[in-house]
Structure 1
């Protein structure tokens, strides 16, 4: 399987980067091909330009977005690795969705109106490996797990059909001990080994 792994963290020595490295090594060790798209290292510009928005429904993209679109279309699976900040995506990842998961690429509108038609039939696996500074109960009970809802019910469901969606999160990251981080990395390894 060809996996597009998207990493969204500015620090090369971050826990998210460790998760991405481990997931990549595990996948490649099992014979998969991993295309690592490190949004910060590749200097991805998350801003939707005036030109892009002006041609949003006519399928015209700049060189950077076109390159990412080609990588997404070449993949069988998508693995996102990112921290949750303020119960949401890092801005660079949100910009990736805005610029790359565009009409004509990830979905199209039904000409009769209302319905969104998924276009990412090549994506069979859509996973998120994430962390949050808040405890589990705050994310789930108080906030309603907004990132999972957005990914599963919004982006994944509107862009592909019948895919394997999973999200694995390390909660309370700001107070996580070395032992807790190591145990989480082992959970990542075990989960990714199933692909």
Structure 2
């Protein structure tokens, strides 16, 4: 498989970078082709431009302002996201990636009569996310209702592709765990991605 790994974290030495490298190394060792898109290091601009928004629902939307990121998504068979959850949501740069790259004609088609959205990412068969959060499990699930999983699975994945292998793997209490737990999580990431 050709897998696009999208990393959304501003610190090159951060734990998210270690997770992304574990994913990349494991997938590559298993014979997959891996394209790592580090949104910060590649200078991705998350802001939807005025011209992009004004043309967004035109019949032949032109996503060229978001190239080469659109092409990289279209070439992938699988998508793996690596990011921290901040305020129970995506980092702004990742939200901008969805806004600009998961565009009409790329990720979905709008019914011209204003009805249903039709998925266009038939090439994507695998949609996984590895995230961290400073909150404990019970806050994310019981108090907040796991908003990131809902947005990814019911919103983005379901509206853009059919029959996906979807998985979200969280590391909770990130701000309070020790090095042993971080290493154990990286081993879990390697074990899971090794099954792809």
Could you say which residue in structure 1 is the equivalent of 2:80? Answer: 79
Could you say which residue in structure 1 is the equivalent of 2:54? Answer: 54
TM-score, scaled to structure 1: 0.98
The CA deviation at 1:114 is: 1.9
Say whether the 8 Å CA contact 1:129–1:168 is kept in structure 2. yes
Could you say which residue in structure 1 is the equivalent of 2:13? Answer: 13
Could you say which residue in structure 1 is the equivalent of 2:160? Answer: 159
Q: Distance in 2 between matches of 1:95 and 1:193?
A: 29
TM-score, scaled to structure 2: 0.97
Question: Which 10-residue stretch deviates more, 108-117 or 154-163?
Answer: 108-117
Instruction: Give unpaired runs (5+ residues) of structure 1.
Output: none
Q: What number of residue pairs does the alignment pair up?
A: 194
SS in 2 for 1:78: strand
Can you list the C-alpha shifts for 1:55-114, whole angstroms capped at 9, x where unaligned? 112322344x12111000000000000000000000000000000001111001123432
Could you say which residue in structure 2 is the equivalent of 1:115? Answer: 116
1:26-175 superposed matches below 5 A: 26-58=26-58, 59-63=61-65, 65-175=66-176
Instruction: Give unpaired runs (5+ residues) of structure 2.
Output: none
SS in 2 for 1:134: coil
Q: Distance in 2 between matches of 1:106 and 1:80?
A: 16
Say whether the 8 Å CA contact 1:52–1:62 is kept in structure 2. no
Post-superposition, which runs of at least 4 consecutive aligned residues in structure 1 deviate over 6 A? none
SS in 1 for 2:192: helix
Say whether the 8 Å CA contact 1:57–1:104 is kept in structure 2. no
